Structure 1
Amino acid sequence: MEVKLLNSADAAAYWELRLEALKENPESFATSYEDVLKRKQPVEQVAENFKMDGNFTFGAFDNKQLIGVVTLLQEKPQKLNHRANIFAMYVTPLKRESGIGKALLTAAIKKAQTMEEIEKINLTVVTSNKEAKRLYSKLGFNVFGMEEKAIKLNNCYYDEEHMVLFMN
């Protein structure tokens, strides 16, 4: 398994894995599968996102197949650019519990540590996702709040915990 920073050449593979994530775990993402299917030129949009300043998407590969991703995104406004956020964390189901999530998140944290202005990383996690919560806690993230009914899917509500990791 190899973890690397994705670039525009990886956009199509990322898009396929993103669609899988939205189908497999719709409760874990604010974006819906149906919404992303309406996007025009989604692979090109992904490729452009990979080029944006402060946007770092890491991918885990197994035999050249993309099996996991995570995005670290630095906030842009001057008063908020000391913060970064973790988004779109996903590992394909057959490869879970093999250290891939930890490797991806560790790569994102290490990248944030190289960025002088980043003082903390925020993320949100659905409260029912015990494995993800355990991983985030193990890597030093702490809960600082909970949002009830953060996501509504098929008339079912999901709460989200807000977590933070302060850089030292």
Structure 2
Amino acid sequence: MVIKRLVEQDAENYLALRLEALQNSPESFGSTYEEEKDHSVDKYKTRFQSQDSFTFGAFEDDILVGIITLVKEPRIKLRHRMSIVAMYVSPSKRGLGNGKALMNEAIRTAKELEGVEQVYLTVVTTNKSAKNLYTSLGFETYGIEKRALKLDNRYFDEDLMVLFL
């Protein structure tokens, strides 16, 4: 397994894995497959060049099997915070350390950035394996957002989690 920051050349593979994530785990993301299926690869090429977000990929034999994005807060009073979003590992590659390696890379990057003191994420309350991973890395639940997501007339609560660096 290799973890690396994604670059323009990874955009097509990223988009394919992102769409897989939205199809396989629709309850875990704020957007839907229908909303993103027509997004251009260029959108991600541009995003990967941004200095305000860091998208990492887990590769096995040069195949992208997991993704995670770490996002800076732009406002002055929030610059001490970052957020982890869009975390996903292909089902066949779960339980092999890919998710933990992606999380560790995001945390390491946040620690290296000047002024960053805490990292936030949200996770659907029913996703026990993800919650266990985040807790094992030091994240703490500080609240629950009831009915955070609604999909097909079904609501999903999210745990709000933070890691103080």
Task: Identify the TM-score tier after normalising by the shorter chain.
Answer: over 0.9
Question: Partners of 2:33 and 2:66 in 1: how far apart?
Answer: 18
Residue of structure 1 in register with 2:149 after alignment: 151
Q: 1:68 is matched with which residue?
A: 66
The equivalent of 1:92 in structure 2 is 90
Report Cα offsets for 1:115-142 as digits up to 9, x if no partner: 0111100000000000000000000000
Choose from 114, 124, 127 the match for 2:125.
127
Q: Distance in 2 between matches of 1:44 and 1:116?
A: 29
Residue 8 of structure 1 is matched in structure 2 by: 8
Residue deviations 1:31-65 (CA, integer Å, cap 9, x gap): 000011243xx210011011111210110001110
For 2:30, the equivalent position in structure 1 comes to: 30
Deviations 1:121-165 (A, max 9, x none): 000000000000000000000001101111111111100000000
Per the normalisation by structure 1, the TM-score is 0.96
> In the alignment, which residue of structure 1 is the partner of 2:113?
115
Partners in 2 of 1:37 and 1:123 — Cα distance? 24
| SS, match of residue 95 in structure 2 | coil
Cα root mean square deviation, aligned: 0.7
